[in-house]
């Protein structure tokens, strides 16, 4: 009850004193001043398909160019079926045919991805919640410990049989997708799908992303870049990359961001465009396959700078 009272008080101004304003101005300039202030220590990013469209990955619902407008060849009962777990279990072929076209390793992270990387490098990123399965957050260098991949990811896959649940890495899945084989478990011959969650798609944006906001009432030292569950303070009406560049310029980070994009894209080109997002065998929480300890993450360093009392 106290949690609900605090939430309603802080977000809707109900049942309590009016909350103290976080921003001195409801504009991008106000956001930049807050980000530069000592009050801002934690930034939460909540992202979806829009941040990857400039990389060449279509979103879902844009008329003419979205995925749902171009799935006629897959003989689906309705477009959304290709991402539903019930349909997937009975007819996995359309999903894996589409996966060949959109497979990680064929696209580069965008300016927006690297803006989040800058937030991380500067010790400001508390968490990134993403709906995307393209792994571009990982390719951009975000620490897996700071990532919540709400719809799963191609980075790891697992057998769907409850009695098995064998995990497989990105290279294993890639080999089967590009050989046109429906991935089957080597232990039990059960169907294997990308992602750690029970559904290929586990809900809409609000349903998936609301819990971290509603379970932890907004704090005056947390700024959220992305859709808020109950209201919006500041909206950027434009494409994601332009918005990130505009905010970076106000923060004095624009040249640093542009150089990061140039450097990282050049490194990807030098590797022949292989952007798998890291070694699939070194997944979050796994030990090095040679028996060593996991390397200290950027997330640990960021937490150390913030102090333990300010971490989730």
CA angle at residue 62 from 83 to 248, to 5 degrees? 100
Q: Are 94 and 101 in contact (CB under 8 A)?
A: no
Other Cβ atoms closer than 10 A to 18? 8
Other Cβ atoms closer than 10 A to 220? 13
What is the DSSP annotation of 220-263?
TTEEEES--SS--S----S-HHHHHHHHHHHHT-HHHHHHHHHH
240 is in an annotated binding site: no
Rounded to whole angstroms, the Cα distance separating 162 from 158 reads: 10
188 is in an annotated binding site: no
Helix, strand, coil percent values for the chain (each to nearest 5):
40, 10, 50
Q: What residues contact residue 218 under an 8 Å CB cut-off, 6+ apart?
A: 10, 11, 224
Instruction: Report in angstroms the alpha-carbon separations of 166 from 85, 99, 183, 193.
Output: 18, 21, 12, 11
- The candidate with the shortest Cα–Cα distance to 213, out of 201, 222, 204, is 222
- Residues with a catalytic annotation lie at 151
229 is in an annotated binding site: no
The binding site for Zn(2+) consists of 159, 164, 185, 244
Enumerate the known binding-site residues: 159, 164, 185, 244
């Amino acid at each position: 009850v106290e949690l609900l009272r605090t939430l309603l008080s802080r977000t809707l101004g109900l049942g309590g004193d009016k909350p103290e304003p976080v921003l001195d101005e409801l504009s991008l300039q106000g956001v930049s001043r807050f980000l530069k202030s000592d009050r801002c220590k934690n930034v939460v990013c909540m992202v979806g398909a829009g941040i990857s469209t400039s990389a060449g990955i279509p979103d879902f619902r844009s008329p003419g160019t979205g995925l749902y407008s171009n799935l006629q060849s897959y003989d689906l009962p309705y477009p959304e079926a290709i991402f539903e777990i019930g349909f997937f279990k009975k007819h996995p072929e359309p999903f894996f045919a589409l996966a060949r076209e959109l497979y990680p390793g064929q696209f580069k992270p965008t300016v927006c991805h690297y803006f989040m990387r800058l937030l991380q490098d500067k010790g400001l990123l508390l968490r990134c919640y993403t709906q995307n399965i393209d792994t571009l957050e990982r390719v951009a260098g975000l620490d897996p410990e700071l990532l919540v991949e709400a719809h799963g990811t191609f980075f790891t896959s697992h057998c769907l049989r409850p009695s098995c649940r064998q995990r497989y890495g990105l290279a294993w899945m890639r080999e089967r997708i590009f050989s046109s084989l429906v991935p089957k478990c080597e232990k039990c011959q059960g169907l294997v799908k990308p992602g750690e969650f029970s559904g290929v798609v586990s809900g809409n944006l609000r349903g998936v992303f609301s819990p971290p906001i509603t379970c932890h009432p907004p704090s005056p030292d947390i700024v959220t870049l992305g859709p808020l569950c109950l209201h919006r303070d500041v909206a950027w009406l434009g494409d994601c990359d332009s918005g990130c560049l505009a905010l970076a310029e106000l923060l004095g980070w624009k040249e640093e961001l542009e150089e990061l994009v140039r450097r990282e894209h050049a490194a990807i080109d030098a590797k022949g465009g292989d952007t798998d997002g890291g070694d699939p065998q070194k997944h979050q929480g796994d030990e090095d396959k040679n028996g060593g300890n996991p390397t200290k993450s950027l997330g640990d360093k960021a937490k150390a700078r913030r102090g333990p009392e300010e971490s989730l």
